[in-house]
A = this chain, B = another copy of it.
Amino acid sequence: MKMLDQRAVDMARANAKRMADETTPLIRNCWYVAAFSADLPAGKLLARRMLGNNLVLYRTPDGVAALRDRCAHRSFPLSDGHVEGDSVVCGYHGFRYAPDGACVYVPSQAQRCPGNIGVRSYPVIERSPHIWVWMGDPRKADPGLLPAAPWMSDSPDWAAGHGYMHVKANYVHLHENLLDLSHLTFLHAKTFGTPDYALAPFEIETGDAMFVVRRTVSPTRLPPIYAEPTGMAGVDAARIVTSTFVSPALSYTELTLRNLAVPQEQRRDFHLKTAQIITPESADTLHYHYTVVRDFALQDQAVTDFILGSIRDAFVEDVYALERIAQVRAEDDDSDFYESSVAADRAGVAMRRHLKALAEKERAPADSGELRQA
């Protein structure tokens, strides 16, 4: 066993403590995706746990309602009831709630509904194909804080595909995974990694709440997921990847593929963008929605299916890694462990410090975002 320099150890330990992890409170003042629009047909109730709270969503004539999924009477989940007009009816004793959470009808005293019963309602904005919910202080639920990227939302310039996975890991570690793609060479050796990926040069840009990593792998050979739909199998190519932390709820991976075998003046770059939509379910689990778009083969469903299938294969590897890490962190004795970081982690470390600071700011009494029941 090698003994380490005590000063370096103390510094690493202190650094690790300043970064968000599964022990850091979740960020509430943020728009999070609760579901794809297609997950919520009219007349249906959708139960979804987000940031440790149970919600029920349903469509009203005016949009989408999101209520606490717990009847104020005896705690039966409203999602086990049914929709009636713009209301949800509890399946236990029939209490009926309006979209604003107010109880408007109690069958056993039909003539005089009590005025002081209600459940919390949450601001919702549907921007197809995503339904966004605000879990924090409703006074801060500014629609202007929704992500601006037009390609995320049913754009004619982009062909889109969508997927979902449930992950038993804290959301911070998924964000960090997405900011250091040097793991493609190892974790994704059989899917979208190549041996030269981890060795490629990269630039990191960090600012206030902004963290970007740009990596250029060139010349390289593309893995099948990209080579097949672009016709670049077996030729030299450039692969330029930009990873951007957008918010606790969102990360972008933007990819440019360039065929180096084609003379520069005849080239047309191919672009793929992935919105990695991350919704903490609890401190230890998350909903992983993703939307993948491309600017080529726009009408070709087979290309969509191929790319979605390949991405899913790779994301399964990420989920495996994140869940194994979560198990280790949960069951291993932490008293003599601290995380060690290297240069490639600079963006991830800065992002995790930002999340820790955000969480601390939200926990400050003046800005708690905590509310009474209704």
Interface residues of A (CB under 8 A from B): 1-5, 8-9, 12, 52-54, 69-70, 72-77, 80-81, 89-94, 100-103, 106-110, 114-118, 120-121, 138, 173, 176, 180, 182-183, 185-187, 198-199, 202, 321, 324-325, 328-329, 331-333, 335-345, 370-374
* Contact A1/B107 with A8-B116, A76-B321, A325-B74 known, Cβ cut-off 8 Å: no
A182 lies within 8 A of B4 (CB): no
A2 lies within 8 A of B118 (CB): yes
B73 lies within 8 A of A339 (CB): yes
Complex Cα distance A328/B138, Å? 24
A341 lies within 8 A of B73 (CB): yes
A182 lies within 8 A of B93 (CB): yes
A91 lies within 8 A of B336 (CB): no
A185 lies within 8 A of B2 (CB): no
* Contact A1/B342 with A52-B333, A54-B328 known, Cβ cut-off 8 Å: no
Copies in the complex: 3
B336 lies within 8 A of A109 (CB): no
Complex Cα distance A4/B372, Å? 9
A93 lies within 8 A of B332 (CB): no
Contact of A336 among B9, B342, B344, B373 (CB under 8 A): B373
A352 nearest CB across to chain B (Å) = 11
Cβ contacts under 8 Å, A186 to chain B = 81, 89-94, 107
Cβ contacts under 8 Å, A198 to chain B = 93-94, 107-108
Cβ contacts under 8 Å, A76 to chain B = 321, 324-325, 328
Complex Cα distance A370/B335, Å? 10
A336 nearest CB across to chain B (Å) = 5
Contact of A342 among B108, B329, B370 (CB under 8 A): B108
Complex Cα distance A73/B342, Å? 8
Cβ contacts under 8 Å, A176 to chain B = 74
Interface centre among A53, A75, A121 (most CB of B within 10 A): A75
Cβ contacts under 8 Å, A328 to chain B = 54, 69-70, 75-77
B54 lies within 8 A of A102 (CB): no
A267 nearest CB across to chain B (Å) = 29
Given A2-B102, A8-B115, 15 new contacts (CB under 8 A): A1-B100, A1-B374, A3-B372, A72-B337, A72-B340, A74-B325, A74-B339, A91-B186, A92-B186, A92-B321, A93-B344, A94-B185, A94-B198, A107-B186, A336-B371
Complex Cα distance A243/B120, Å? 33
A-B contact pairs, 8 of them (CB 8 A): A1-B121, A1-B371, A8-B116, A76-B325, A90-B186, A92-B325, A93-B344, A103-B340
Complex Cα distance A191/B205, Å? 64
Contact of A138 among B1, B53, B182, B199 (CB under 8 A): B1
Complex Cα distance A186/B115, Å? 22
B332 lies within 8 A of A9 (CB): no
Cβ contacts under 8 Å, A73 to chain B = 339-342, 345
Cβ contacts under 8 Å, A75 to chain B = 325, 328-329, 332, 337, 339
